[in-house]
Amino acid sequence: MRLHCKCGVCSTDFESAAHTPYTAEVLFRKMKERGFEAVQFSFSSIAETDFTPNGQIEIPAVIPSAAIRAVAENAEKYGIPVEVINGTFNMAHPDRGIREEGICRFEILCRAAKELGAKYISLCSGTRNADHLWSPHSDNDTQEAWNDMLDTVSRCTKIAEEYGITLAVESEASNIISTPERARRLMDTVGSPNLKMILDCANLFHAGEAHKENVREILEHAFALYGDDIVLAHGKDIREGDGIDFCGTGLGIVDFAYTAALLEQYDFTGNMFLHGIYDENDMVRAREHWLASVR
């Protein structure tokens, strides 16, 4: 195996484990102690931002300069670069005002990302569910929902281009981009080199599909459609069953060794960010599981 990538983590896993944000110094120290080499960072994960997501927009309206400074100083102190920043908001929210507010905040986030040297911002393609951006809705497959999402993504992509930042979206069963086909269609329609993909294997499964015999076929299908456009990977896992039950890396059915082989086959040059652990005591085990998969 010649796949060489850093093993990072999503800062929201620490945020959820603690039930309250740490200071930036504590957060980065904890990541370092568990052996992580990079971070996908959310400003909601540190106390200095004083921000709580509301289920619709996960970007602060204001990002204090002190928060940006604290992140930059501790990223350097502990040798954990901020490579990705969460830019998730409901890009298909039925209320246009929510979408417009998300776009306004997105430009603020791009400025902060530029200051921190982050190359990527992660997206949520959104849902017609008005309460929560990761929850499904029966109208997600409508043309109107697609059009609203496409408009929002296109406008955010233009903003990102101005800052030299690449946006990364993932297919997610509960969102508008629910399949690899829709992901391919989105990238082809927007037509920007600044819009790419996150590979989150667990998110590729729909209800009724999370069974071991389906894993390789589902992975191969996603890679066939957008393997060359994957710039980031997530290490979330999913338990076997007819529902959708996410879990920490290595506790479910995702074949991470096969995932690593496919990433190598498609000349992946990004990094892996573990996600879905939400237990600080289990993070070393999860990291070791991924590292064993690439040996």
125: left (phi over 0), alpha (psi -120 to 50) or beta: alpha
Tokens of 57: 């927009």
pLDDT at 129: 98
- What does the pLDDT look like over 60-83, one tens digit per residue? 999 999 999 999 999 999 999 999
Q: Helix 256-265 crosses helix 215-226 at what angle (to 10 degrees)?
A: 20
CA distance 98 to 54: 11
pLDDT at 15: 85
Distances (CA, A) of 289 to 54, 181, 295: 33, 30, 10
* CA dihedral angle for residue 279, residue 197, residue 221, residue 2, rounded to 10 degrees: -70
Average pLDDT estimate for 156-165: 98
With H, G, I as helix, E, B as strand and everything else as coil, classify residue 217.
helix
CA distance 76 to 81: 7
Q: Which residues pair with 198 in a beta bridge?
A: 232
pLDDT at 191: 98
**How does residue 18 score in pLDDT terms, banded at 50, 70 and 90?**
confident
What domains are defined for the chain?
7-293 (3.20.20.150)
* Strands annotated E in the chain: 7-10, 39-41, 82-86, 120-122, 166-169, 195-200, 230-234, 237-238, 246-247, 272-274
pLDDT higher than 90, residue 2: no
pLDDT higher than 70, residue 1: no
Distances (CA, A) of 192 to 71, 88, 106, 231: 30, 19, 18, 14
Average pLDDT estimate for 133-156: 98
Tokens of 249: 């890396």
- What does the pLDDT look like over 200-257, one tens digit per residue? 999 999 999 999 999 999 999 999 999 999 999 999 999 999 999 999 999 999 999 9
pLDDT at 19: 80
CA distance 103 to 105: 5
Task: Provide, rounded to the nearest whole percent, the portion of the chain with pLDDT above 70.
Answer: 99
**How does residue 4 score in pLDDT terms, banded at 50, 70 and 90?**
confident
Assess contact for 58 and 30: CB atoms under 8 A.
no
CA distance 137 to 128: 6
